[in-house]
Chain A
């Protein structure tokens, strides 16, 4: 019997330890969720009729930014950073809108698949250049942001094109219960279908490994270059989804990049992804995007001067990140 109890006990200890560490690891995300809940309550207080339309508006405005944040999170976890996400989204948006304009719904399915593959390729190009040239990622992707933005303008020099009705329907309205907006379902589905399997696979492990310590990962037999390129390709895929969501929500393609690159960096920092790589996930950044969007909405509800609102957004961001850093430093010491 004693032989049996020992492993059970040690198992219990291990389980408790695991729970403890996972709670610690998720403390930041739990904090974010708490903050989000507080913000929602606050929003309801200042705007008593905030309800279904508000939530739906939030969901659709969150979608492109959340997908961009997921894209950024993956590449940052792998130890890189991509400053061309906004330009890629613009390129995908114009390519899809230009090809879909006036075409049949069936053809548009092929277009969607095509631009997703294009996104994978664009990402792989960024990653490949960074790996092969050994130029820092930040420089390569900043340079590529001009390349992709220029390509977008070559495809269409002014906003235009069209989008399939089914694509537009995919991001408007709700499904089942009116409190469940379709864009939110799309976001959850896309992340669950693509990121979760990758995260659990060998590739996922390699991405985290390469991000936290390239040399150690290399010595453990991980192909560093290949992993980084694949992480960038995944980023490209999510950036393409983000670009498609822009086309879906507006019904057109816009060649000039929106403010998505910097917002994606802001969202992952707030979402608990370490810019040094190897740590964090994609859930935190998504919650962070929701927080950033609600703050803007609240500013409108409160009639805060519109220029001041942007200043406050930045200050809130740096404030939250500073608190987060202090918590992390304390934990590291303790």
Chain B
């Protein structure tokens, strides 16, 4: 048994890794799994009354499955908003959350566990558009409503609810091209090649481009930041060092924005108009004329409150309320519209300041934590440690 030492070491190591996997916040998935952006679709409205529960006193149980991005602010905020919405709706007796970094097969198991648990509805952030369909069909056979949030699934009987990424890119790009009066060159900083959200954003960007024939884009296909802050910083530094920055008039980013602004500041170059998203770091730059003199920018929202909105949608389906799918979208799909707010007017600045009013656990959490008409909780109910609690927790 000369190996026994090694054996014991491996056994211990395996266990430690299993434990560590739970305790770590999985930095790798963090960067890659989501458009790094943040998000009020309609700003941080304290609470909306549009979907307030009035009549139904029935109590439902909800299952929520998240298959990746554990530790990523965008995903964690989704889970918290789902819990908050379940609590605030008054119609949910229990929300069971399964959240781990896994593959589609692992998420299939999580969804099947929720089916076996006998929940009334399953809200999930899908790991794949098609792979979960077998379990979704089983859920529907058991009378369970299924709602996919943050991305769509191809199952025809599942409702999808996610941010309109085509419009996200279109709004920001249109603002930018308007700042340039329709002529000039724009640096195009994208997310992850092949990611569905990135594909949709490219469509929106190209739509705005088609309406502005005087605009030139470098590089033509865009550069991929991977929604990874260090990558975006490196790309921006190289772009400035090569002298190309001096030849452009605007920058469009897919949400990794404040890093680019800081790179320009560090190089001592004048700012060009820039498109970003509602991350705290970027909003603070937009509102800081002393630290960033002459910075003109727009923040396009990309809400993480889709978790809460998904629970809201599931309750509507359970109560038999008619849900109108968004026209022109995929079947059974509700798209949440982003809004764009710039720092050029006092009204815009005031709105941006309002977003910063919510205290969030860390800077990677999207600022807008509620959605008018789709969430009923107060921001405080969704923010840990005091909030982020489901019914009975």
* A residues in contact (CB < 8 Å) with B: 47, 49-50, 53-54, 57, 60-61, 64, 81, 138, 157-159, 168, 172, 246, 249-252, 254, 256, 258-259, 262, 265-266, 269, 274-277, 293, 296-297, 300-301, 303, 306-311, 313-315, 317-318, 321
Q: A306-B99, A307-B22, A318-B12 are in contact. Are A249 and B105 (CB under 8 A)?
A: yes
Collect the chain B residues with CB atoms within 8 Å of residue A306's CB: 97-100
At the interface, is chain B mostly helix, strand, loop or mixed?
Answer: helix
- The CA-CA distance from A265 to B195 in the complex, in Å, is 32
Across the interface, which residues of B come within 8 angstroms of A159, CB to CB? 104, 127-128, 131
State whether A297 touches B130 (Cβ < 8 A).
no
In chain A, what residue has the closest Cβ to B9? A275
Confirm or deny: B102 has a beta carbon within 8 angstroms of a beta carbon on chain A.
Answer: yes
Which residue from chain B places its CB closest to the CB of A311 in the assembled complex? B22
Partner of B108, one of A54, A61, A277, A310: A61
A296 to B116, CA, bound (A): 13
Q: Report if A313-B117 is in contact (Cβ < 8 Å); known contacts: A251-B133, A252-B131.
A: no
Interchain CB contact under 8 A, B3 and A301: no
Contact A158 B194 (CB under 8 A): yes
User: Which residues from A are CB-within-8-Å of B288?
Assistant: none
Query: What is the bound-complex CA distance between A236 and B184, given in angstroms?
Result: 57
Contacts between the two chains (Cβ within 8 Å), count? 146
B23 near A311: Cβ-Cβ < 8 Å: yes
Counting chain A CB atoms within 10 Å of each CB, which of B12, B23, B98, B103 scores highest? B103
User: Is A311 touching B116 in the complex (CB atoms < 8 A)?
Assistant: no
* Chain A contacts for B195, CB-based, 8 A: 158
How close is B306's CB to chain A, nearest CB, in angstroms?
19
Question: Of residues A252, A306, A311, which shows the largest number of chain B Cβ atoms within 10 Å of its Cβ?
Answer: A306
Q: In the bound complex, do residue A262 and residue B116 qualify as a contact, i.e. CB atoms below 8 Å apart?
A: no
Q: A158-B194, A274-B7 are in contact. Are A250 and B128 (CB under 8 A)?
A: yes
Among the 9-residue stretches B13-21, B44-52, B239-247, B318-326, the one with 4 or more Cβ atoms under 8 Å from chain A is B13-21
Q: Looking at the assembled complex, report how far the CB atom of A101 sits from the nearest CB atom of chain B, in whole angstroms.
A: 11
Residue of A nearest to B195 (CB): A158
Take A53-B112, A53-B116, A275-B3 as given contacts and tell me if A310 and B194 are in contact as well, using a CB distance cutoff of 8 Å: no
Q: Contact check: which of B17, B22, B128 meets A254 at CB < 8 Å?
A: B128
Whether the Cβ atoms of B113 and A314 lie closer than 8 Å is no
Within residues 109 to 137 of chain B, which ones have a CB less than 8 A from any CB in chain A? 109-110, 112-118, 127-128, 130-135
Shortest beta-carbon distance, A224 to chain B, in Å? Answer: 16
Determine which of B18, B108, B113, B194 lies in contact with A301 in the assembled complex, contact meaning CB atoms within 8 Å: B113
Contact with A along B10-54 (1 / 0, CB 8 A): 111011111101110000000000000000000000000000000
In the complex, how many angstroms separate the beta carbon of B155 from the nearest chain A beta carbon?
Answer: 12
**Cβ-neighbour of B115 out of A53, A81, A168, A172 (below 8 A):** A53
Residues of B within 8 A of A256 (CB): 103
Question: Is B142 close to A, CB under 8 A?
Answer: yes
Neighbouring B residues of A276 by C-beta, 8 Å: 1, 3-4, 7
B96 touches A300 (CB 8 A): yes
A47 cross-chain contacts in B, Cβ below 8 A: 116-118
- Are B106 and A300 within 8 A (Cβ)? no
User: B residues bordering A, Cβ < 8 Å?
Assistant: 1, 3-4, 6-7, 10-12, 14-19, 21-23, 70, 94, 96-106, 108-110, 112-118, 127-128, 130-135, 138, 142, 194-195
Chain B min CB distance to A199 (Å):
22
Are A275 and B96 CB-contacts (below 8 A) given A57-B113, A250-B104?
no
**Bound Cα distance A138, B9 (Å):** 12
Contact between chains at A251 and B21 (CB < 8 Å): no
Expressed in whole angstroms, the Cα–Cα distance for A54 and B114 within the complex equals 10
The one of B7, B22, B194 that contacts A275, using a Cβ cutoff of 8 Å: B7
- State A53–B127 Cα separation when bound (angstroms): 22
| B17 A262 Cβ-Cβ under 8 A | yes
Contact B105 A61 (CB under 8 A): yes
- B residues near A275, Cβ cutoff 8 Å: 3, 6-7, 10-11
Residues of A within 8 A of B114 (CB): 300
A318: chain B residues at CB < 8 Å are: 11-12, 15
Docked-complex contact A303 and B96, CB < 8 angstroms: yes
The docked-state distance in angstroms from the alpha carbon of A313 to that of B102 is: 15
- Across the interface, do A249 and B134 meet the contact criterion of CB distance under 8 Å? yes
Q: Which of B11, B18, B98 has the largest number of chain A CB atoms within 10 A?
A: B18
Beta-carbon contact of B98 and A300 below 8 Å: yes
Contact B100 A252 (CB under 8 A): no
Which B residues touch A303, using CB under 8 A?
94, 96
Enumerate 12 A-B pairs (CB-CB under 8 Å) in ascending A order.
A47-B118, A61-B106, A246-B105, A251-B131, A254-B128, A259-B106, A274-B7, A310-B21, A310-B100, A314-B21, A317-B14, A317-B15
- Inter-chain contact A249/B108, CB cutoff 8 Å: yes
A317 to B22, CA, bound (A): 14
Contact B14 A262 (CB under 8 A): yes
- A259-B21, A311-B22 given; name 16 further pairs at CB < 8 Å: A47-B118, A61-B105, A159-B104, A250-B108, A250-B131, A252-B104, A252-B128, A258-B105, A262-B17, A266-B14, A296-B113, A301-B116, A310-B19, A310-B22, A318-B11, A321-B15
Distance between B260 CB and nearest chain A CB, rounded to angstroms: 26
**B118 adjacent to A252 (CB under 8 Å):** no
Distance in Å: Cβ of A157 to nearest Cβ of chain B = 6
Determine the chain B residues whose CB is within 8 A of the CB of A269 once the complex forms: 11, 14
* Nearest CB on A from B72, distance (A): 14
Is B116 touching A297 in the complex (CB atoms < 8 A)? yes
A262 adjacent to B18 (CB under 8 Å): yes
Give Cα A64 to B6, complex, Å. Answer: 27
| Residues of A with C-beta under 8 A to B109 | 57, 60-61, 293, 296-297
Complex Cα distance, B7 from A61, in Å, reads 28
| Interfacial chain A residues near B194, Cβ < 8 Å | 157-158
